[in-house]
Amino acid sequence: MSRIGVIGAGYVGLTTAACFAHLGHRVVCADVDEDRVAALRRAEIGAHEPGLADLVTEGLRTGRLTFTADNDTAVADAEFVYLCLPTPTGENGEADLSAVHAVLREADLDGRVLVVKSTVPIGTADGIARSRRSPVVSNPEFLREGHAVDDFLRPQRIVVGADDASVARRVLDLYPDAPALVTDRASAELVKYASNCFLAMKLSYVNSLAELCERSGADIDDVTEGMRLDERIGAAFLRPGPGWGGSCFPKDTRALLSTSDGAHVDFPLLRATIDTNERQARRVVDKVRQAAGPLDGTRIGLLGLTFKAGTDDLRDSPALAVADLLADEGAVLTGYDPCVTTDTGPVHVTGTALDAARDVSALVVLTEWPEFAELDWPALAAGMSRPVIVDTRNVLPVDKVTESGIRLVATGRA
Ligand code: UDX
């Protein structure tokens, strides 16, 4: 078992710390935010991440997981130091590495294996390695929000970029058994961007196909069902929606485009992937206007505000992009989301879906929360001033909804 310091207690850092402790390692996790550290010491994780609070509780109980606001304390006794810091979008779309560099300047990391878990542009880990004597490893994460613990403990792959095979082996040994790729640092860094951008590209492709279906009489659900049967295409990430969002895809697509521009590589596929997504919220609003009539002063209800189901994360949520555009046109917005309790942007948040639907001229389903498929349709219809639902994710049961007298505007079918 190893001694690990984790710098940064966001969803990646905390998941990494708690899961490593669960696997038997001794972990000290640091975060600059003292209030967060105090909360974590009480096992309050401040996010909706299934299983994570239990692992934090377990780690605190066994003593294998401790929290500190001081990076030096996290590093002092560690054999491995994991950097799990945010790399937000900078001014020109590039990843902003200031948090990473600040830690590297201040913490004494000599003699430890430095593991870069943050998503960083190609060449970052090599650059760090040039300025230090101890080993530097790139070890990107592939954790989906809402499944982070599961993804960590049962990984589909572990990617380690290192220039020393024995160091790479030591990092791999920290993890459960899984298909592993050991490569150079730059390739490991690119695997992360390449994967997220590919998934985003699949989604933009499907969202454009859905638009084509609407105008040509085809049905996107059947079209993607047919595509899924081809193993080369893969079954996942073919569901249409209001656009992709969250803390990774928007940031990573822009960052890879910025890296490509910097390397003088024309990457029109990536640019089109982003452009298609940026137009998606406008398309949803056009459909709502068609369904509900002029939007100025019109009440519209929204079901789902987070960027996807199973999370409370509102960062770069396509639902909020739709909400902002609707509000710009004068719509008055109510919204319901199982994980959101306070008013968000222009949306007055209600406690139930029925409340969000009351007196609205259209209801718009924006997130695929399973409970939205099981609403009381007759009651919903009775409360709406015009019984129309725009389902941007095709998650509602068509027959039940239409039987209750509601007009259902689905996605990707005429
Ligand atoms: C993603 C990657 O999956 C993960 O590996 C990476 O490390 C972090 O980024 P996450 O952002 O949690 O994870 O969400 P994910 O489940 O991948 O969904 C991303 C976006 O695509 C969401 O907005 C989601 O609603 C959308 N999506 C996904 C669709 O619109 N249709 C689909 O079929 C799948």
pLDDT of residue 186: 98
| For ligand 1, atom 15: residue with the closest CA | 144
> CATH: 3.40.50.720, 3.10.180.10, 3.20.20.140, 3.30.70.1520. Which one for 185-414?
3.40.50.720
d(CA 276, ligand 1 centre) in Å: 16
Domain 3-183 matches domain 185-414 at the CATH topology level: yes
Nearest to 249 by CA among 272, 268, 274, 282: 274
The class that CATH gives domain 3-183 is alpha beta
The whole-model pTM stands at 0.95
Residue pLDDT, tens place only, 204-231: 999 999 999 999 999 999 999 999 999 9
CB-ligand 1 contact for 246 (6 Å cutoff): yes
What's the whole-number average pLDDT of the chain?
97
CB-ligand 1 contact for 141 (6 Å cutoff): yes
Residue pLDDT, tens place only, 232-248: 999 999 999 999 999 99
Residue pLDDT, tens place only, 293-336: 999 999 999 999 999 999 999 999 999 999 999 999 999 999 99
C-alpha–C-alpha distance, residues 174 and 223, integer Å: 42
Nearest to 196 by CA among 156, 231, 246: 246
The pLDDT of residue 93 is above 90: no
Which segments of 145-270 are extended strands (E)?
Answer: 158-161, 180-183
| For ligand 1, atom 3: residue with the closest CA | 144
The pLDDT of residue 107 is above 90: no
* 119 belongs to an annotated ligand binding site: yes
C-alpha–C-alpha distance, residues 194 and 197, integer Å: 5
CB-ligand 1 contact for 193 (6 Å cutoff): no
Residue pLDDT, tens place only, 247-280: 999 999 999 999 999 999 999 999 999 999 999 9
- Domain positions in the chain: 3-183, 185-414
pLDDT of residue 108: 87
d(CA 148, ligand 1 centre) in Å: 12
C-alpha–C-alpha distance, residues 348 and 184, integer Å: 49
The answer to whether 191 and 384 are in contact (CB under 8 A) is no
d(CA 14, ligand 1 centre) in Å: 20
* 249 belongs to an annotated ligand binding site: no
Nearest to 75 by CA among 125, 32, 34, 111: 111
pLDDT of residue 137: 98
| For ligand 1, atom 22: residue with the closest CA | 244
Q: Which of 49, 149, 189, 248 to mutate to test the pocket of ligand 1 (most atoms within 8 A of CB)?
A: 248
Does the ipTM surpass 0.90?
Answer: yes
The pLDDT of residue 92 is above 90: no
**Helices 185-216 and 220-228 sit at what angle, rounded to 10 degrees?**
140
| For ligand 1, atom 25: residue with the closest CA | 308
C-alpha–C-alpha distance, residues 197 and 269, integer Å: 10
